[in-house]
A and B are shown apart, each in its own frame.
Chain A
């Protein structure tokens, strides 16, 4: 099911340990996660460079926190007066 694949991808993007385990045994880890055979086969062919870069990009964005801070909001509101 697609929802399960999204959940598994979310884990791969955010969890370095899960990514390392997956890299060592894609079929085994994906199968144990409960994905159906089609999704397991898709993950065996995964774009590994893309997985590394996507994970890095998402982690960097999470590390920077919320997109706006209270001071910026205050500035925006001040400008609207």
Chain B
């Protein structure tokens, strides 16, 4: 195996001081690219400075690449400016749509998992390559609704997306866990069906139960809670099966605990990775 696994944190302003004070325990950071779209040269220079201090990857949240509709060229060009200025080690986006019919959802929505969406994704990635100069690693999304109009399950959808685009996968293990809980499939069995040789990045996060009017509950991927044990179990399983080095990011977007608490989650991820890799070596 070339290289080694790395574990880091999502860069958030609320965590910045803690990350910078503990860079010896943070292998890399992931910055939300959209926060720097339209930013001035000073802000981009500051981000480039951070990228020199610590390995940095950019993460997009609003392109809506997994759509039968064309991606907004202006958004792509704006993102290209950020990528060009920062020179990250990689960038990623979601397998989601974020707008439709002139409406902006303001967040990610799972698209219909079917051929038309796949063809739209391929076309949108070609546009991304033309604008940015590279294609993003593609992230699986959490969903509270079984996407209407789908003709395949999530593992088949992810495998098809990677096969059609030749890209890399950012595997969000909490998203996989939440979807498995919400829709009654086995996350470990789903993991085994994914193209794990294409996984380069991993997200870990936490969520919470929310309830519908009728009393049924589902897991919301809210990034405001600790990474649950089943997600670390999935990370160990992934490490046992994935042949390439993994860059693992713990995401937190609210209810921020002390930085030491998050650093302990990074350590727990390292233990899970080491455990999985040891299973391969044994």
Contacts and interface: CB of A to CB of B under 8 A. Distances in A.
Given A6-B100, A10-B99, A49 B112 contact: no
Interface string A42-57: 1101110111111011
Contacts of B109: 6, 9-10, 13, 54, 58
A22 to B, nearest CB: 11
A interface, how many residues as a size bin? Answer: 35 or more
Contacts of B214: 49
Nearest to A45: B148
B218 A72 contact: no
Contact of B101 (A7, A50, A75): A7
A77 B107 contact: no
A5 B103 contact: no
Contacts of A80: 16, 20, 46-47, 49-50
A62 interface: yes
A32 interface: no
Contacts of B11: 76
B149 A57 contact: no
A18 to B, nearest CB: 11
A79 to B, nearest CB: 4
B81 interface: no
A2 B144 contact: no
A42 B111 contact: no
A1 B68 contact: yes
Contacts of A8: 100-101
B268 interface: no
Contacts of A50: 143-146, 182, 218
B14 interface: yes
B212 to A, nearest CB: 5
Interface residues of B, number: 51
Given A54-B144, A73-B43, A2 B14 contact: no
A19 to B, nearest CB: 12
Contacts of A61: 106-107
Contacts of A54: 109, 143-145
Contacts of B12: 72
B105 A76 contact: no
A20 interface: no
Nearest to B146: A47
Interface in B11-32: 11-14, 16-17, 20, 32
Nearest to A68: B35
Given A6-B68, A73-B43, A13 B105 contact: yes
B68 A10 contact: no
Contact of A9 (B47, B148, B213): B148
Contacts of A42: 112, 148-150
Report the 5 A-B pairs with minimum CB-CB distance, sorted nearest first.
Answer: A7-B101, A50-B145, A72-B13, A2-B68, A2-B116
28 contacts: A2-B112, A2-B116, A3-B100, A3-B116, A6-B67, A6-B68, A9-B100, A10-B97, A10-B101, A10-B103, A11-B101, A13-B109, A42-B148, A45-B148, A49-B212, A50-B143, A50-B218, A52-B212, A53-B210, A53-B218, A58-B106, A61-B106, A62-B105, A68-B32, A68-B35, A72-B14, A75-B13, A75-B16
Interface of A: 1-11, 13-14, 38-39, 42-43, 45-47, 49-54, 56-58, 61-62, 67-68, 72-73, 75-77, 79-81
